[in-house]
Amino acid sequence: MGWLTKIRTTEEACQIQLLGKAVAYTLKRSSGRKTVGLRIDAKGLTVSAPPRVSRRWLNDFLLQKSGWVVQKLDEFQLRQVPSMAWRHGEILPYLGGDLRLRLLPVRGRSKATLEGDALWVWLAETDVPDKVETEVIKWYRRQALAYLSVRVALYAQQLGVPLPELRLSSARTRWGSCNARGEIRLNWRLMKAPREQIDYVVAHELAHLIELNHSPAFWNTVARIFPDYMRVRQELRLQSQLYGLF
């Protein structure tokens, strides 16, 4: 019986000048790694490398990749959405536009009302972010159920399929789903997106009632009721983080 080799991993904070910018990165060395890899995420740049690769070689490698690294870091930074403070005057995304959050104290039952470009929320503790968030999400969900029901009915008619059961989802990794029982789930966060992006997701999930896969036949079905799906799909992917997904 042979011995299992234990993989050793170390991490080091480093910095390099790329295209005139000081770029901080994490150098992660692993005894189980054979090649050098680059990853850019919420933590910034991570360089993964085998133990024996020299710092000089890594610096040369990063300089060769400097254009790609700086571009991807800039793109990721642009996509970052400041965390919501849930306070009076906050901006809320709604159907591709903006609403101004207005908070008012009340002794009775909490409620939320849309008036023009402002969402008025009455609740007892306007200075407790968690409670403000809860009330706003309740409002989003009410809007989602009403709005999405209409869009589902419209596209089901166009596709010629029976009206499916609609449920709301709170998933963090997908906009919608359809199962073999013909049930549709749509994420309430869609109410933050522009109308055409919402319609794309609706058309996408309804097409699964005919093709429960992502085959060419499925995409042809989507195109029947939403011809511009490729452009809108890409825009939704680029803006998903803005709407609170991924």
CA 186 to CA 168: how far, in whole Å?
5
According to DSSP, the residues that pair with 111 across neighbouring strands are: 122
Structure token digits, residue 236: 């939704």
Torsions phi, psi of 46, nearest 5? -120, 130
Burial class of residue 6, CB neighbours in 10 A (0-12, 13-18, 19+): exposed
> What is the helix, strand, coil percentage profile of the chain, to 5?
40, 30, 35
User: Kind of pairing, strands 118-123 and 97-105?
Assistant: parallel
CA 89 to CA 244: how far, in whole Å?
19
CATH of domain 91-243: 3.30.2010.10
Structure token digits, residue 92: 């809320």
Q: Which residue, among 191, 228, 213, has the nearest Cα to 93 in the 3D structure?
A: 191
User: Kind of pairing, strands 21-30 and 9-18?
Assistant: antiparallel
Taking only the tens place, the pLDDT of each residue in 134-179 is 999 999 999 999 999 999 999 999 999 999 999 999 998 899 999 9
The sign of the dihedral angle between the CA atoms of 146, 150, 151, 157 is: positive
User: Kind of pairing, strands 9-18 and 44-49?
Assistant: unpaired
Burial class of residue 147, CB neighbours in 10 A (0-12, 13-18, 19+): middle
Provide the residue type at 65 as one letter: K
For every one of its 246 residues, what pLDDT tens digit does the chain have, with 9 covering 90 and above?
Answer: 444 557 788 999 999 999 998 999 999 999 889 999 999 887 789 999 999 999 999 999 999 999 999 988 887 776 666 678 999 999 999 999 999 999 999 998 999 999 999 999 999 999 999 999 999 999 999 999 999 999 999 999 999 999 999 999 999 889 999 999 999 999 999 999 999 999 999 999 999 999 999 999 999 999 999 999 999 998 998 788 778 876
Domain with CATH 3.30.2010.10 in the chain: 91-243
The sign of the dihedral angle between the CA atoms of 62, 66, 72, 74 is: positive
How many alpha carbons fall within 13 Å on the CB side of residue 180?
A: 0
CA 17 to CA 26: how far, in whole Å?
14
pTM: 0.71
* 97-123 exposure pattern, b = at least 16 Cβ within 10 A, e = fewer: eebebbbeeeeeeeebeeeeeebbbbb
CA 32 to CA 49: how far, in whole Å?
9
Structure token digits, residue 203: 């058309």
Structure token digits, residue 159: 């596709």
